Protein backbone atom coordinates (compact mmCIF):
# COMPACT_ATOMS: atom_id res chain seq x y z
CA UNK A 1 0.00 0.00 0.00
CA UNK A 2 1.66 3.21 -1.21
CA UNK A 3 0.87 6.85 -0.62
CA UNK A 4 -0.84 8.39 -3.62
CA UNK A 5 1.24 11.57 -3.24
CA UNK A 6 4.80 10.48 -2.36
CA UNK A 7 4.72 6.69 -3.06
CA UNK A 8 6.06 6.09 0.48
CA UNK A 9 4.44 3.49 2.76
CA UNK A 10 0.77 4.35 3.33
CA UNK A 11 -0.96 4.18 6.72
CA UNK A 12 -4.56 5.05 5.80
CA UNK A 13 -6.78 4.07 2.90
CA UNK A 14 -9.60 6.38 1.89
CA UNK A 15 -11.90 4.28 -0.25
CA UNK A 16 -14.04 7.25 -1.21
CA UNK A 17 -11.01 8.73 -3.00
CA UNK A 18 -9.78 5.29 -4.09
CA UNK A 19 -6.40 6.22 -2.59
CA UNK A 20 -3.95 5.51 0.23
CA UNK A 21 -1.91 8.07 2.14
CA UNK A 22 1.18 8.21 4.37
CA UNK A 23 0.84 10.02 7.69
CA UNK A 24 2.07 13.37 6.41
CA UNK A 25 -0.15 13.40 3.34
CA UNK A 26 -3.20 12.06 5.16
CA UNK A 27 -2.98 14.87 7.73
CA UNK A 28 -2.54 17.34 4.88
CA UNK A 29 -5.58 15.86 3.11
CA UNK A 30 -7.69 16.48 6.25
CA UNK A 31 -6.52 20.09 6.56
CA UNK A 32 -7.06 20.66 2.84
CA UNK A 33 -10.59 19.26 2.97
CA UNK A 34 -11.48 21.57 5.86
CA UNK A 35 -9.92 24.52 4.06
CA UNK A 36 -11.91 23.67 0.93
CA UNK A 37 -15.18 23.40 2.87
CA UNK A 38 -14.50 26.77 4.54
CA UNK A 39 -13.64 28.37 1.19
CA UNK A 40 -16.38 26.80 -0.97
CA UNK A 41 -19.15 27.59 1.49
CA UNK A 42 -17.71 30.95 2.61
CA UNK A 43 -17.72 29.84 6.24
CA UNK A 44 -14.97 32.11 7.58
CA UNK A 45 -12.71 35.00 6.72
CA UNK A 46 -9.02 35.01 7.71
CA UNK A 47 -8.58 36.02 11.35
CA UNK A 48 -12.18 35.26 12.35
CA UNK A 49 -12.86 34.37 15.99
CA UNK A 50 -14.51 30.98 16.22
CA UNK A 51 -16.23 29.23 19.12
CA UNK A 52 -15.79 25.45 18.76
CA UNK A 53 -18.47 23.25 20.35
CA UNK A 54 -16.38 20.53 21.98
CA UNK A 55 -17.81 17.21 23.20
CA UNK A 56 -14.57 15.36 23.98
CA UNK A 57 -15.14 13.07 20.98
CA UNK A 58 -12.90 12.69 17.94
CA UNK A 59 -14.75 15.04 15.60
CA UNK A 60 -14.86 18.16 17.74
CA UNK A 61 -11.28 17.77 18.99
CA UNK A 62 -9.96 17.15 15.46
CA UNK A 63 -11.92 20.17 14.27
CA UNK A 64 -10.41 22.39 16.96
CA UNK A 65 -6.94 21.10 16.12
CA UNK A 66 -7.37 21.76 12.39
CA UNK A 67 -8.86 25.24 12.84
CA UNK A 68 -5.85 26.15 15.01
CA UNK A 69 -3.49 24.89 12.34
CA UNK A 70 -5.32 26.93 9.74
CA UNK A 71 -4.67 30.05 11.85
CA UNK A 72 -8.11 30.85 13.22
CA UNK A 73 -8.53 32.38 16.65
CA UNK A 74 -10.52 29.76 18.56
CA UNK A 75 -11.99 29.08 21.97
CA UNK A 76 -13.86 25.94 23.02
CA UNK A 77 -17.16 25.39 24.77
CA UNK A 78 -17.93 22.15 26.60
CA UNK A 79 -21.39 21.37 27.97
CA UNK A 80 -21.68 18.94 30.89
CA UNK A 81 -24.99 17.27 30.11
CA UNK A 82 -25.20 15.18 33.27
CA UNK A 83 -25.28 11.84 31.42
CA UNK A 84 -23.53 9.86 34.19
CA UNK A 85 -20.01 8.53 33.59
CA UNK A 86 -20.25 9.38 29.90
CA UNK A 87 -20.38 13.10 30.69
CA UNK A 88 -17.67 13.04 33.34
CA UNK A 89 -15.34 11.04 31.07
CA UNK A 90 -15.94 13.12 27.96
CA UNK A 91 -15.39 16.28 30.02
CA UNK A 92 -11.96 14.98 31.00
CA UNK A 93 -10.98 14.53 27.34
CA UNK A 94 -12.18 18.03 26.44
CA UNK A 95 -10.39 19.73 29.34
CA UNK A 96 -7.26 17.59 28.83
CA UNK A 97 -7.02 18.66 25.17
CA UNK A 98 -7.39 22.34 26.05
CA UNK A 99 -5.01 22.22 29.00
CA UNK A 100 -2.22 20.44 27.13
CA UNK A 101 -2.31 23.10 24.43
CA UNK A 102 -2.97 26.14 26.63
CA UNK A 103 -6.34 26.80 25.00
CA UNK A 104 -9.35 28.57 26.44
CA UNK A 105 -12.26 26.21 27.14
CA UNK A 106 -15.51 27.44 28.67
CA UNK A 107 -17.26 24.71 30.64
CA UNK A 108 -20.97 24.84 31.39
CA UNK A 109 -22.39 22.20 33.71
CA UNK A 110 -26.13 22.21 33.08
CA UNK A 111 -26.98 20.43 36.36
CA UNK A 112 -25.32 23.04 38.54
CA UNK A 113 -26.08 26.05 36.35
CA UNK A 114 -29.59 25.27 35.11
CA UNK A 115 -30.81 22.75 37.69
CA UNK A 116 -31.56 19.81 35.40
CA UNK A 117 -29.73 17.13 33.45
CA UNK A 118 -30.54 15.43 30.17
CA UNK A 119 -31.76 12.05 31.53
CA UNK A 120 -34.03 13.67 34.15
CA UNK A 121 -35.06 16.57 31.93
CA UNK A 122 -36.09 14.39 29.03
CA UNK A 123 -38.13 12.13 31.32
CA UNK A 124 -39.88 15.04 33.01
CA UNK A 125 -40.60 16.77 29.72
CA UNK A 126 -41.58 13.48 28.04
CA UNK A 127 -39.16 14.10 25.19
CA UNK A 128 -36.73 11.63 23.65
CA UNK A 129 -33.30 12.15 25.30
CA UNK A 130 -31.63 13.20 22.03
CA UNK A 131 -34.40 15.68 21.33
CA UNK A 132 -34.05 17.34 24.76
CA UNK A 133 -30.27 17.18 24.46
CA UNK A 134 -30.13 18.64 20.93
CA UNK A 135 -32.43 21.48 21.93
CA UNK A 136 -30.34 22.24 25.03
CA UNK A 137 -27.07 22.19 23.10
CA UNK A 138 -28.35 24.42 20.31
CA UNK A 139 -29.68 26.94 22.83
CA UNK A 140 -26.55 27.09 24.99
CA UNK A 141 -24.12 27.09 22.04
CA UNK A 142 -26.03 29.97 20.43
CA UNK A 143 -26.13 31.85 23.71
CA UNK A 144 -22.37 31.48 24.31
CA UNK A 145 -21.43 32.42 20.73
CA UNK A 146 -23.61 35.55 20.88
CA UNK A 147 -22.43 36.51 24.37
CA UNK A 148 -18.77 36.16 23.32
CA UNK A 149 -19.34 38.05 20.01
CA UNK A 150 -17.73 35.23 18.02
CA UNK A 151 -17.79 35.41 14.24
CA UNK A 152 -19.03 31.82 14.06
CA UNK A 153 -19.97 28.76 16.05
CA UNK A 154 -18.27 25.64 14.64
CA UNK A 155 -19.56 22.11 15.26
CA UNK A 156 -17.90 18.79 14.47
CA UNK A 157 -20.61 17.31 12.24
CA UNK A 158 -18.85 15.14 9.68
CA UNK A 159 -19.97 13.72 6.34
CA UNK A 160 -21.41 10.58 7.97
CA UNK A 161 -23.50 12.68 10.36
CA UNK A 162 -24.77 15.02 7.69
CA UNK A 163 -25.58 12.27 5.19
CA UNK A 164 -27.52 10.39 7.92
CA UNK A 165 -29.49 13.51 8.89
CA UNK A 166 -30.20 14.16 5.21
CA UNK A 167 -31.44 10.60 4.73
CA UNK A 168 -33.75 10.96 7.75
CA UNK A 169 -35.10 14.27 6.49
CA UNK A 170 -35.64 12.90 2.97
CA UNK A 171 -37.37 9.74 4.22
CA UNK A 172 -39.94 11.92 5.98
CA UNK A 173 -39.81 14.82 3.50
CA UNK A 174 -39.09 17.24 6.31
CA UNK A 175 -39.02 20.22 3.98
CA UNK A 176 -38.34 22.76 6.74
CA UNK A 177 -35.29 20.84 7.96
CA UNK A 178 -34.16 20.23 4.38
CA UNK A 179 -34.33 23.99 3.83
CA UNK A 180 -31.86 24.50 6.65
CA UNK A 181 -29.53 21.56 6.06
CA UNK A 182 -26.57 23.51 4.84
CA UNK A 183 -22.88 23.49 5.86
CA UNK A 184 -23.20 27.13 6.88
CA UNK A 185 -26.13 29.06 8.31
CA UNK A 186 -25.59 32.81 8.25
CA UNK A 187 -25.99 34.97 11.34
CA UNK A 188 -29.30 36.76 11.65
CA UNK A 189 -32.27 37.56 13.87
CA UNK A 190 -30.04 37.33 16.93
CA UNK A 191 -28.58 33.89 16.05
CA UNK A 192 -24.85 33.42 15.44
CA UNK A 193 -23.38 32.10 12.19
CA UNK A 194 -23.07 28.30 12.35
CA UNK A 195 -20.54 26.33 10.39
CA UNK A 196 -19.73 22.62 9.85
CA UNK A 197 -16.16 22.58 8.50
CA UNK A 198 -15.85 18.74 8.65
CA UNK A 199 -18.55 18.03 6.05
CA UNK A 200 -15.99 16.78 3.54
CA UNK A 201 -14.48 14.24 5.98
CA UNK A 202 -15.89 10.94 7.26
CA UNK A 203 -16.01 9.45 10.73
CA UNK A 204 -13.25 6.94 10.02
CA UNK A 205 -10.96 9.69 8.75
CA UNK A 206 -11.51 11.75 11.89
CA UNK A 207 -10.63 8.78 14.11
CA UNK A 208 -7.45 8.20 12.06
CA UNK A 209 -6.63 11.90 12.24
CA UNK A 210 -6.84 11.88 16.06
CA UNK A 211 -4.69 8.74 16.36
CA UNK A 212 -2.00 10.16 14.06
CA UNK A 213 -2.02 13.55 15.81
CA UNK A 214 -1.88 11.93 19.27
CA UNK A 215 -5.24 13.39 20.30
CA UNK A 216 -6.91 11.46 23.15
CA UNK A 217 -10.64 11.34 22.67
CA UNK A 218 -13.74 9.74 24.15
CA UNK A 219 -14.27 6.52 22.20
CA UNK A 220 -17.45 5.31 23.95
CA UNK A 221 -20.72 6.43 22.44
CA UNK A 222 -23.34 8.19 24.53
CA UNK A 223 -25.51 5.55 26.28
CA UNK A 224 -28.65 7.54 25.50
CA UNK A 225 -28.11 7.20 21.74
CA UNK A 226 -29.65 3.73 21.78
CA UNK A 227 -32.82 3.65 19.75
CA UNK A 228 -31.90 6.97 18.06
CA UNK A 229 -33.10 6.79 14.43
CA UNK A 230 -29.98 8.63 13.37
CA UNK A 231 -27.88 5.52 14.15
CA UNK A 232 -30.09 3.35 11.96
CA UNK A 233 -29.67 5.79 9.07
CA UNK A 234 -25.91 5.74 9.57
CA UNK A 235 -25.86 1.94 9.48
CA UNK A 236 -27.96 1.86 6.33
CA UNK A 237 -25.66 4.33 4.61
CA UNK A 238 -22.57 2.41 5.77
CA UNK A 239 -23.95 -0.72 4.08
CA UNK A 240 -24.41 1.18 0.82
CA UNK A 241 -21.03 2.91 1.10
CA UNK A 242 -19.29 -0.47 1.56
CA UNK A 243 -20.64 -1.65 -1.76
CA UNK A 244 -20.34 1.67 -3.51
CA UNK A 245 -17.66 3.96 -2.02
CA UNK A 246 -18.39 7.63 -2.54
CA UNK A 247 -22.17 7.31 -2.24
CA UNK A 248 -22.42 9.36 0.96
CA UNK A 249 -20.42 12.16 -0.61
CA UNK A 250 -22.56 12.20 -3.78
CA UNK A 251 -25.76 12.00 -1.77
CA UNK A 252 -24.87 14.93 0.49
CA UNK A 253 -23.07 17.19 -1.98
CA UNK A 254 -25.47 16.33 -4.82
CA UNK A 255 -28.24 17.61 -2.55
CA UNK A 256 -26.28 20.76 -1.71
CA UNK A 257 -25.38 21.51 -5.32
CA UNK A 258 -28.53 20.53 -7.16
CA UNK A 259 -31.51 20.16 -4.87
CA UNK A 260 -31.24 22.20 -1.67
CA UNK A 261 -32.28 25.34 -3.56
CA UNK A 262 -35.75 23.79 -3.96
CA UNK A 263 -36.18 23.91 -0.18
CA UNK A 264 -34.52 27.30 0.39
CA UNK A 265 -36.55 29.42 2.77
CA UNK A 266 -38.73 26.50 3.89
CA UNK A 267 -37.19 26.66 7.37
CA UNK A 268 -38.01 30.35 7.79
CA UNK A 269 -41.35 31.39 9.15
CA UNK A 270 -42.88 34.75 8.48
CA UNK A 271 -43.42 37.08 11.39
CA UNK A 272 -41.67 39.45 13.66
CA UNK A 273 -38.62 38.18 15.55
CA UNK A 274 -39.04 38.34 19.26
CA UNK A 275 -37.19 37.41 22.42
CA UNK A 276 -38.00 34.83 25.07
CA UNK A 277 -39.73 36.44 28.07
CA UNK A 278 -37.67 34.29 30.43
CA UNK A 279 -34.12 34.16 29.06
CA UNK A 280 -34.02 36.81 26.33
CA UNK A 281 -33.03 34.32 23.59
CA UNK A 282 -34.11 35.17 20.04
CA UNK A 283 -36.95 33.17 18.51
CA UNK A 284 -40.54 33.45 17.46
CA UNK A 285 -42.47 32.54 20.60
CA UNK A 286 -43.01 34.23 23.94
CA UNK A 287 -41.20 31.48 25.86
CA UNK A 288 -38.41 29.62 24.05
CA UNK A 289 -38.30 25.82 23.77
CA UNK A 290 -35.30 25.64 26.11
CA UNK A 291 -37.10 27.54 28.88
CA UNK A 292 -40.21 25.37 28.41
CA UNK A 293 -38.05 22.24 28.69
CA UNK A 294 -36.25 23.60 31.74
CA UNK A 295 -39.47 24.54 33.49
CA UNK A 296 -40.98 21.10 32.93
CA UNK A 297 -37.74 19.55 34.17
CA UNK A 298 -37.78 21.65 37.35
CA UNK A 299 -34.71 23.70 36.36
CA UNK A 300 -33.99 27.42 36.66
CA UNK A 301 -32.09 30.14 34.89
CA UNK A 302 -28.79 31.09 36.51
CA UNK A 303 -29.15 34.90 36.40
CA UNK A 304 -31.13 37.74 34.88
CA UNK A 305 -30.56 37.79 31.12
CA UNK A 306 -28.55 40.39 29.31
CA UNK A 307 -30.84 41.74 26.59
CA UNK A 308 -29.67 40.57 23.17
CA UNK A 309 -30.48 42.95 20.29
CA UNK A 310 -32.61 41.31 17.60
CA UNK A 311 -32.61 42.64 14.05
CA UNK A 312 -35.91 42.86 12.25
CA UNK A 313 -36.55 40.33 9.49
CA UNK A 314 -38.08 36.90 8.99
CA UNK A 315 -37.79 34.65 12.03
CA UNK A 316 -36.30 31.24 11.62
CA UNK A 317 -36.47 27.93 13.37
CA UNK A 318 -33.10 26.80 14.59
CA UNK A 319 -33.45 23.03 14.32
CA UNK A 320 -32.13 20.74 11.62
CA UNK A 321 -34.01 17.48 12.04
CA UNK A 322 -32.39 14.59 13.87
CA UNK A 323 -30.10 15.87 16.60
CA UNK A 324 -26.43 15.27 15.99
CA UNK A 325 -24.63 18.04 17.78
S1 LIG B 1 -25.12 13.35 23.60
FE2 LIG B 1 -27.21 14.04 23.54
FE3 LIG B 1 -25.92 12.83 21.58
FE4 LIG B 1 -26.33 11.52 23.88
S5 LIG B 1 -28.35 12.32 24.39
FE6 LIG B 1 -28.37 11.99 22.19
S7 LIG B 1 -27.83 13.98 21.39
S8 LIG B 1 -26.62 10.71 21.82
S9 LIG B 1 -24.64 13.47 19.94
ZN1 LIG C 1 2.92 10.56 1.25
ZN1 LIG D 1 -35.84 31.15 26.98
Q: Is 193 left (phi over 0), alpha (psi -120 to 50) or beta?
A: beta
Q: What separation in Å is there between the alpha carbon of 164 and the centre of ligand 3?
A: 29
Q: Which atom of ligand 1 is nearest to the CA of 134?
A: 7
Distance CA 266, CA 116 (A): 33
| 34-267+275-298 belongs to CATH 3.40.50.2300 | no
**pLDDT tens for each residue of 23-61:** 999 999 999 999 999 999 999 999 899 999 999 999 999
Nearest CA to ligand 1 atom 5: 130
Predicted confidence (pLDDT) at residue 305 exceeds the cutoff of 80? no
Q: Which atom of ligand 1 is nearest to the CA of 122?
A: 5
Q: Which range (110-124, 250-264, 301-315) has the least confidence?
A: 301-315
Distance CA 304, CA 289 (A): 18
Q: Is 57 exposed, middle or buried (0-12, 13-18, 19+ CB in 10 A)?
A: buried
**pLDDT tens for each residue of 287-296:** 999 999 999 9
Query: What does the pLDDT read at residue 321?
Result: 45
Is 42 in contact with 81 (CB distance < 8 Å)?
no
Q: What separation in Å is there between the alpha carbon of 3 and the centre of ligand 2?
A: 5
Sorted by where each begins, the domain ranges of the chain are: 34-267+275-298
Is 325 in contact with 154 (CB distance < 8 Å)?
no
Ligand nearest, relative to CA of residue 19: 2
Query: What does the pLDDT read at residue 25?
Result: 98
Amino acid sequence: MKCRVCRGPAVVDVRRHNANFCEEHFLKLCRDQVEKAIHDHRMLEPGDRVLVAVSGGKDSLALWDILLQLGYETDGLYLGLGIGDYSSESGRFATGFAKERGLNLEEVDISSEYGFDIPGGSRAARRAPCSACGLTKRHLFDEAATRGSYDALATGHNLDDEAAVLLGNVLRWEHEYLGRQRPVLPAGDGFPKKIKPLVRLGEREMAAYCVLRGIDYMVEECPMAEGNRHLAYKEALNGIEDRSPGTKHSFYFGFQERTSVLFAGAGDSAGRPTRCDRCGAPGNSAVCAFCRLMERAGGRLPAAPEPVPVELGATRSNGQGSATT
